[in-house]
Chains A and B, each alone.
Chain A
Amino acid sequence: MITRWLVRRLARTVDDRLRIAPVVRRALVKVFPDHWSFMLGELALYSFVVLVLTGVFLTLFFEPSTAETTYTGAYEALDGSRTSAAYASTVRLSFDVRAGLLMRQTHHWSALLFVAAIVLHLLRIFFTGAFRKPREINWLIGVTMLALALFNGFTGYSIPDDLLSGTGLRILYSVTQSVPLVGEWLVFLAFGGEFPAAETVPRMFVAHVLLVPAVLTALIAAHLGILVRQKHSQFPGPGRTENNVVGSRFWPGYTARTLALFAWVFAVTFALGGLVQINPVWIYGPFDPAQASSPAQPDWYVAWGDGALRLLPAADFRVFGHLVPSPFLPGAVLGGVAFAGLYLWPFLERWRGGDGLSHQLLDPPRRHPARLGFGVAVLAFFVVLLVAAADDIIAKVLRVPVLDVLSILRVLALVLPVPAGVVGYLLARALLRGGGRGIGDVTRRDVRSVRRLATVGSRGDVEEESSTEGGPSTEQPRSTGAATGPAAGDGGPRIELWRERDGTWRWRYRADEVTLTGNQGYLSRPEAERAADTAYGNLPMLEVEPPGGRAAVVAGAVERAGRAAGRVGGSLALLVLAYRRRRRDRRR
């Protein structure tokens, strides 16, 4: 009760000075479509939050320097050793700082999950065509963030200056150096000298904790700002048009949901950080250019580059007399082409037969067989590259010669994308044409999922695309449903309008079994009609009784009674407690 009074008081104080009530009110009734795949981006966002929080903790103890120092601490096998300050402080974080290892491991796990969530999110966007107009800008921002995430992952992995990451850094150095003409200049520019240069770790540190996170934060803000401005796209379904958004309001439905997801991300990353060991640098030892450990792989998100380096045969060649070293193609060109392809895809697709129209409704993946097939083929290629990065581990586990594994993977990398893409294409075609019948179980399951997709959010809130000037919106519980609503019309799609008790007008869309209530109230009937018309075009409109009016009142009365009972009960309990305590005190 006191809390509520405080909150109300605070809100009023802030609103008196900043006049934020209209903005907040609009934000709270903002509608987000319901589909689990729309929450993948949130997974990445919350992983980023975990990264920032744990990362701040780590910066308090990490020393970004390769200056020699003597480690003294709980790790016996390193106690008294001369190592770089970066390595010594990382081991100290793991052994001597309270909760340091938990934070380190959570940071690393959430980094892996961050990139994984971004990739899944990207795949969802790609296969549903969410990158089409008007969302190309957000696609470009997203791809940029993926590149930054990879870069920051790599720098974070490298700055502890341990033996494993030093090997990876050495590879990146060589790949950069392999760029024809400018390679030597590039490595000196980026690494600050010949490998291993003293400046490399401090530079990577600044990029890792300052520059890239700042840019990422700005881009995330832009990403979300554009999302809010453009409204979220939605899958086709009953009641969903190019002009509306059907789903849950931000408050309270979506807020609870997204906070729960936040808690899940925290729980999973910290559980992994506490229970599963990751990157035990104390075992790997400090970096020494003369030493190496085997097996050695990078983190998964850059492992495709490592896999490509392993797969491509060593072949130097000359172009116009300039040497092109063999790491150039797999190390630099592949990544460049991949990201160029990602950046250009929306424009390529529009150029090759796409329309230039704005799309608010998503494609189910099958709607675009060529896109699906191409995506699956590229995905298969990169998965083979990822597997190739672990060729030595596969060889060891299976006890087969590593060169045989390599040969098989070489063939797979070239061959597998073709059948994978063709299968994807044909499956999409078949599903599209036959409505899902004719190719066995997969198809039947797909059909089921499609039907489920179509009925997702069959009830919910509607937000019209070009919002009219909203009047004071009444925060009213969502419609109590078709059962209590007045039986009107013949069951075809129609718009129902009614006047609330407080004088505002609201509307809802009704079809056979679907009821979608508009998320705002309007001061006049024409305004409500205009809004409904924007969302649904030419549908018959009829005025009805306010739905669930009595129910709302009853609910209100019950709620009030419950609250009063709670208050009385609480006071009584306090009294009893106080009484018992006093008696106990007296007895002493």
Chain B
Amino acid sequence: MPRGAGVPRGAAVAEAGRGGRPNGWRALLIAVVLGLAAGPVPLPAAAAPVPVPTPTAASLPGGTASPAATGGPTGTVPPADPAGARGADLYLRNCASCHGPAGQGSQRGPGLVGVGPASVDFQLSTGRMPLEKVAVQPPHRRPAFSAEDIRAIVAHVDSFGGGGPEIPTVSPGDLRTGREVFLANCAACHSAAGVGATLTNGLIAPSLEGSTPLQVAEAVRVGPGLMPAFPETVLQQRELDALASYVQELRGDRLDRGGASLGRLGPTTEGLVAWGVGLLLLVLAARWLGRRADE
């Protein structure tokens, strides 16, 4: 997966060699930047799991609802719960500046009350959130947080209330059903080959190449962005399982039985290869053969 656009190429390669470390660094970096932006704020949270740094919330832009914000987590999460505190802490550092300290939203980002754990988990686990830079459609990246941290943030956002779809469960399903469901409901935007396609206004239906079964299931239930949501009443659990399994089958080159896939973009790339490789070779051969030996 390509990393953020701001990261230079060499840096990305070097980081990839060190495995999961860069994410921690990035999170720290973001936290520091946010902390500095927030002004003269003490940073005790990184060291010790203290309840909720109230001053952070209060001093954030648009932090008028700070009583509610502090009331929410402190009310539901006892200070003794380290996971809850971690979730709240991460949320306030990375999410609250746009979504509001209590998930009420701001001018810079939508409210999170009632989006549901599935949506939060989807956005965080696909690396779309937190935003690295403001974009209409953040790309699928490596997640900024560890799975544990994501769980903590999800739990914290869930504590804002409002319900919303839960994180679905996925189990292996029937490929045939999955193919049928995919072609009927997904192929029109994500392409039958799962490589994605363009939508209106420069938006795209992203490629499914990097999507795990759980992410597929979450997206189906939640309907992120322009994508419609498919609740249980529309797509049964059995069909969801099948669909997630089929998308896994589409990933990689398992279905590319015929050789190089050419990005599975269809006749366009095939035509380019026909001219640029096939015909070029043949014309070069003709040029070579068309010359007389005594020239």
Residues of B within 8 A of A36 (CB): 283, 286-291
Residues of B within 8 A of A112 (CB): 270-271, 274, 278
**Chain A 294-328 interface mask (CB, 8 Å, partner B; 1/0):** 11111110010000000000000000000000000
Question: How distant is the Cα of A272 from the Cα of B276 in the complex, in angstroms?
Answer: 12
B233 at the interface (CB under 8 A from A): no
B188 A291 Cβ-Cβ under 8 A: yes
Residues of A within 8 A of B198 (CB): 294-295, 392-393, 395-396, 402
**Chain A 88-115 interface mask (CB, 8 Å, partner B; 1/0):** 0000001100000100010011001100
A101 B176 Cβ-Cβ under 8 A: no
Question: How distant is the Cα of A390 from the Cα of B294 in the complex, in angstroms?
Answer: 46
A76 B175 Cβ-Cβ under 8 A: yes
Residue among B249, B267, B271 making CB contact with A77, cutoff 8 Å: B249
Query: Which of B70-78, B142-150, B252-260 forms contacts with chain A?
Result: B252-260
A401 B188 Cβ-Cβ under 8 A: no
Residue among B260, B267, B278, B291 making CB contact with A34, cutoff 8 Å: B291
A274 B202 Cβ-Cβ under 8 A: no
B262 at the interface (CB under 8 A from A): yes
Residue among A109, A265, A399 making CB contact with B202, cutoff 8 Å: A399
Query: Which of A277-285, A504-512, A552-560 forms contacts with chain B?
Result: A277-285
B176 A39 Cβ-Cβ under 8 A: no
A277 B176 Cβ-Cβ under 8 A: no
Question: How distant is the Cα of A164 from the Cα of B265 in the complex, in angstroms?
Answer: 12
How many A residues have CB within 8 A of the partner chain? 82
Closest chain B residue to A104 by CB distance? Answer: B258
Closest chain A residue to B178 by CB distance? Answer: A77
Q: Report which residue of B189, B197, B249 has the largest number of chain A beta carbons within 10 angstroms of its beta carbon.
A: B197
A260 at the interface (CB under 8 A from B): yes
B283 A120 Cβ-Cβ under 8 A: yes
Residues of A within 8 A of B281 (CB): 264, 268
Closest chain A residue to B180 by CB distance? Answer: A81
Residue among A34, A285, A294, A399 making CB contact with B292, cutoff 8 Å: A34
Closest chain B residue to A94 by CB distance? Answer: B257
List residues 251-291 of chain A with CB under 8 A from any CB of chain B. Answer: 253, 257, 260-261, 264-265, 268-269, 272, 274-280, 282-285, 288, 290-291
Residues of A within 8 A of B291 (CB): 34, 36, 456
**Chain B 240-256 interface mask (CB, 8 Å, partner A; 1/0):** 00000010011000011
Question: How distant is the Cα of A272 from the Cα of B175 in the complex, in angstroms?
Answer: 30
A163 B257 Cβ-Cβ under 8 A: no
A141 at the interface (CB under 8 A from B): no
Residues of B within 8 A of A399 (CB): 202, 204
Residues of A within 8 A of B202 (CB): 395, 399-402, 404
Closest chain A residue to B187 by CB distance? Answer: A293
Residues of A within 8 A of B176 (CB): 76-81
A298 B282 Cβ-Cβ under 8 A: no
Q: Report which residue of B250, B268, B291, B292 has the largest number of chain A beta carbons within 10 angstroms of its beta carbon.
A: B268
A396 B196 Cβ-Cβ under 8 A: yes
A291 B184 Cβ-Cβ under 8 A: yes
A36-B290, A401-B200, A459-B292 in contact; A272/B268 too (CB < 8 A)?
no
Residue among A38, A279, A282, A400 making CB contact with B290, cutoff 8 Å: A38
- Interface residues of chain A, those whose CB is within 8 Å of chain B, are 34-40, 42-43, 76-81, 94-95, 101, 105, 108-109, 112-113, 116-117, 120, 163-164, 248, 253, 257, 260-261, 264-265, 268-269, 272, 274-280, 282-285, 288, 290-300, 303, 386, 389-390, 392-393, 395-396, 399-404, 455-460, 481
Instruction: Identify 12 residue pairs between A and B in the complex whose beta-carbon atoms are under 8 Å apart, listed by A's number.
Output: A37-B286, A42-B286, A79-B176, A94-B257, A113-B278, A265-B282, A280-B255, A280-B258, A288-B184, A291-B184, A294-B189, A399-B204
- Interface residues of chain B, those whose CB is within 8 Å of chain A, are 175-176, 178-180, 183-184, 187-189, 191-193, 196-198, 200-202, 204, 246, 249-250, 255-262, 264-268, 270-271, 273-275, 277-279, 281-283, 285-292, 294-295
